[in-house]
Amino acid sequence: MKKLTIVWDFDGTILPLEPFDSEQSLLIHAMNQTPKAFGWLKRIYAKAIIYADQREQLRKTFKISYTQMLKGTSSAALDQVCRVLAEKISTADRNVFLKLKKDGYDMMVLSCGTADLSERILRFAGLLNCFSLIEGNRFQFAGDRIRGMELRLPNPADKLQMMYRLDLSADLTMVVGDGYTDLPLLDWSKMPVLIDRSGRKKKIFSDRHFYFISSIPEILNIIENKSLFDSHNSINRAY
């Protein structure tokens, strides 16, 4: 029996927000480490777009502004931020990814965030090899300095288009996300899992047929129950 492909969102799903995502964290780091590059007006604007992005109000506009303000930032700054953020992924969560990899599940990360950050965080967490694909928007560099961004998955619908390009089946693909940018994928998948660490999102998405979990390890119970259900159905069909 073919194993599930598991497609993960990154910020808010693999990486707890607490309270900033990886992009917001990098922008805050750049603002604090290079104060001369951020005058008071630019600092106010940076804080405003972070606030709006936390409330899912900007999307592509945030990416453009965020990239513009990060121009000239060194790749070393990305490593500094990502090394700290990797510590937010708990040992219990890391063990889940390692177990799923060991058990033969193909896992991918599709994010409307910055893939350069996702990759670095997963590498520092010792999890990079758990994923066959990490896709998202990518910085363009001149030497080791950010000069722009290639917008590969700026919108939620772009993640669904990636599923079609990869020719994945909705019946055999579990999607794990945490909110708005994951909705097209969650609605598409026959096994949509929404991680709700706060307990508030279950009310917001109560009209959708999602599996709701409060922590990453609960994924194992869902997979085990599906495996038992599939095995039972296979036995019944044999008779």
CA distance 11 to 181: 10
Task: Give whichever of 28-37, 43-52, 134-143 has the largest mean pLDDT.
Answer: 134-143
pLDDT at 234: 44
How many helices and strands (H and E) does the chain possess?
10, 7
pLDDT digit string, tens, across residues 140-173: 999 999 999 999 999 999 999 999 999 999 999 9
User: How far, in Å, CA of 111 to CA of 14, rounded?
Assistant: 11
The pLDDT value given to residue 135: 97
pLDDT tens by residue, 106-152: 999 999 999 999 999 999 999 999 999 999 999 999 999 999 999 99
CA distances from 131 to 101, 107, 143, 161, 167 (A): 8, 5, 27, 19, 17
Q: Mean pLDDT throughout 211-227?
A: 92
Higher local confidence (pLDDT), 23 or 233: 23
Mean pLDDT of the chain: 91
